Amino acid sequence: MEIQPIKTEEDYDAALEEIDRLWGTPEGTLDGDRLDVLLVLVEHYESKHHPIDPPDPIEAIKFRMEQMNLSRKDLEPLIGSRGRVSEVFNRRRALSLPMIRRLHKSLHIPLESLVREPEYAANKKLKATPYRASSCQVKPRSLGSDRKP
Protein backbone atom coordinates (compact mmCIF):
# COMPACT_ATOMS: atom_id res chain seq x y z
CA MET A 1 0.00 0.00 0.00
CA GLU A 2 1.29 3.40 -0.98
CA ILE A 3 0.84 6.00 1.77
CA GLN A 4 -1.50 8.78 0.67
CA PRO A 5 -4.05 11.07 2.29
CA ILE A 6 -7.21 9.33 3.47
CA LYS A 7 -10.13 10.88 1.61
CA THR A 8 -12.78 8.15 1.41
CA GLU A 9 -14.11 5.33 3.54
CA GLU A 10 -12.36 2.89 1.20
CA ASP A 11 -9.02 4.63 1.85
CA TYR A 12 -9.80 4.55 5.56
CA ASP A 13 -10.58 0.80 5.52
CA ALA A 14 -7.40 0.06 3.56
CA ALA A 15 -5.34 2.09 6.03
CA LEU A 16 -6.86 0.17 8.96
CA GLU A 17 -6.01 -3.14 7.30
CA GLU A 18 -2.43 -1.98 6.77
CA ILE A 19 -2.21 -0.85 10.40
CA ASP A 20 -3.36 -4.30 11.51
CA ARG A 21 -0.69 -5.89 9.36
CA LEU A 22 2.05 -3.57 10.66
CA TRP A 23 0.98 -3.61 14.32
CA GLY A 24 3.86 -4.58 16.61
CA THR A 25 6.67 -3.74 14.19
CA PRO A 26 9.73 -2.23 15.89
CA GLU A 27 10.15 1.53 15.95
CA GLY A 28 12.85 2.98 13.74
CA THR A 29 12.30 0.46 10.94
CA LEU A 30 10.68 1.24 7.59
CA ASP A 31 7.54 -0.65 8.62
CA GLY A 32 7.54 1.07 12.04
CA ASP A 33 7.77 4.49 10.39
CA ARG A 34 5.02 3.50 7.95
CA LEU A 35 2.84 2.49 10.89
CA ASP A 36 3.43 5.84 12.62
CA VAL A 37 2.42 7.79 9.50
CA LEU A 38 -0.68 5.68 8.95
CA LEU A 39 -1.75 6.16 12.58
CA VAL A 40 -1.50 9.94 12.19
CA LEU A 41 -3.49 9.87 8.94
CA VAL A 42 -6.20 7.64 10.44
CA GLU A 43 -6.44 9.78 13.58
CA HIS A 44 -6.89 12.91 11.45
CA TYR A 45 -9.54 11.25 9.27
CA GLU A 46 -11.45 9.94 12.30
CA SER A 47 -11.43 13.31 14.06
CA LYS A 48 -12.82 14.93 10.94
CA HIS A 49 -15.34 12.28 9.79
CA HIS A 50 -16.17 10.31 12.95
CA PRO A 51 -15.97 12.77 15.85
CA ILE A 52 -16.83 11.51 19.31
CA ASP A 53 -18.84 13.92 21.43
CA PRO A 54 -18.03 14.14 25.12
CA PRO A 55 -20.43 12.15 27.31
CA ASP A 56 -23.45 13.56 29.04
CA PRO A 57 -22.34 15.21 32.35
CA ILE A 58 -24.42 12.87 34.54
CA GLU A 59 -23.15 9.81 32.68
CA ALA A 60 -19.56 11.07 33.04
CA ILE A 61 -20.05 11.46 36.81
CA LYS A 62 -21.62 8.00 37.12
CA PHE A 63 -18.77 6.46 35.13
CA ARG A 64 -16.13 8.09 37.36
CA MET A 65 -18.05 7.04 40.47
CA GLU A 66 -17.97 3.45 39.24
CA GLN A 67 -14.26 3.68 38.48
CA MET A 68 -13.47 5.11 41.91
CA ASN A 69 -16.00 2.94 43.77
CA LEU A 70 -17.86 6.01 45.08
CA SER A 71 -21.42 6.33 46.32
CA ARG A 72 -23.78 9.28 46.03
CA LYS A 73 -22.96 10.11 49.64
CA ASP A 74 -19.33 10.66 48.57
CA LEU A 75 -20.50 13.39 46.18
CA GLU A 76 -22.25 15.48 48.82
CA PRO A 77 -19.15 17.63 49.53
CA LEU A 78 -18.89 18.33 45.81
CA ILE A 79 -22.55 18.82 44.83
CA GLY A 80 -24.41 19.59 48.04
CA SER A 81 -26.93 17.91 50.27
CA ARG A 82 -28.34 14.43 49.66
CA GLY A 83 -31.41 16.04 48.11
CA ARG A 84 -29.30 18.20 45.79
CA VAL A 85 -27.30 15.15 44.64
CA SER A 86 -30.57 13.33 43.98
CA GLU A 87 -31.96 16.27 41.97
CA VAL A 88 -28.81 16.39 39.83
CA PHE A 89 -28.79 12.63 39.22
CA ASN A 90 -32.51 12.58 38.44
CA ARG A 91 -31.91 15.43 35.99
CA ARG A 92 -34.14 17.88 37.81
CA ARG A 93 -31.32 20.34 38.60
CA ALA A 94 -28.43 21.48 36.44
CA LEU A 95 -24.86 21.49 37.64
CA SER A 96 -23.75 24.91 38.80
CA LEU A 97 -20.35 26.35 37.98
CA PRO A 98 -18.99 25.74 41.52
CA MET A 99 -20.22 22.12 41.35
CA ILE A 100 -18.49 21.68 37.99
CA ARG A 101 -15.25 23.10 39.37
CA ARG A 102 -15.31 20.84 42.42
CA LEU A 103 -16.15 17.73 40.37
CA HIS A 104 -13.36 18.49 37.91
CA LYS A 105 -10.79 19.18 40.63
CA SER A 106 -11.68 16.24 42.87
CA LEU A 107 -12.70 13.53 40.40
CA HIS A 108 -10.63 14.70 37.38
CA ILE A 109 -13.62 14.60 35.07
CA PRO A 110 -12.82 16.58 31.90
CA LEU A 111 -14.42 20.02 31.88
CA GLU A 112 -15.76 19.52 28.36
CA SER A 113 -17.85 16.64 29.69
CA LEU A 114 -19.18 18.58 32.68
CA VAL A 115 -20.04 21.82 30.88
CA ARG A 116 -21.76 20.10 28.00
CA GLU A 117 -25.48 20.74 27.90
CA PRO A 118 -27.18 17.63 29.26
CA GLU A 119 -29.53 15.65 27.04
CA TYR A 120 -32.59 16.72 29.04
CA ALA A 121 -31.89 20.44 29.15
CA ALA A 122 -33.27 21.11 25.68
CA ASN A 123 -36.70 19.68 26.56
CA LYS A 124 -37.20 20.60 30.21
CA LYS A 125 -36.98 23.70 32.29
CA LEU A 126 -34.54 22.97 35.13
CA LYS A 127 -34.61 24.44 38.58
CA ALA A 128 -32.18 27.29 38.92
CA THR A 129 -29.40 26.83 41.43
CA PRO A 130 -28.11 29.71 43.54
CA TYR A 131 -25.19 30.13 41.13
CA ARG A 132 -27.05 30.15 37.84
CA ALA A 133 -27.19 33.47 36.06
CA SER A 134 -30.98 33.44 35.93
CA SER A 135 -31.20 33.39 39.72
CA CYS A 136 -28.45 35.95 40.34
CA GLN A 137 -30.07 38.97 38.76
CA VAL A 138 -30.29 42.05 40.93
CA LYS A 139 -33.75 43.56 41.24
CA PRO A 140 -33.69 47.31 40.76
CA ARG A 141 -34.84 49.39 43.71
CA SER A 142 -37.32 52.09 42.96
CA LEU A 143 -35.70 55.33 43.94
CA GLY A 144 -37.74 57.70 45.94
CA SER A 145 -40.58 55.29 46.68
CA ASP A 146 -40.25 55.98 50.39
CA ARG A 147 -40.25 59.77 49.87
CA LYS A 148 -43.29 61.94 50.02
CA PRO A 149 -44.04 64.10 46.97
Q: What is the pLDDT of residues 20-55, one digit of tens each?
A: 999 999 988 999 999 999 999 999 999 999 888 878
Residue 130 pLDDT > 90, yes or no?
no
* pLDDT confidence bin for 125, thresholds 50/70/90: low
Instruction: List the chain domain ranges.
Output: 9-49, 57-130
Q: What angle do CA 37, 42, 44 make, to 5 degrees?
A: 95
Q: How does the average pLDDT of the chain come out, rounded?
A: 83
- In CATH terms, 57-130 corresponds, of 3.90.320, 1.20.120, 1.10.3470, 1.10.260, to 1.10.260
Predicted TM-score of the model (pTM): 0.56
The torsion region of residue 122 among left (phi > 0), alpha (psi -120 to 50) and beta comes to alpha
| Residue 137: per-residue pLDDT | 41
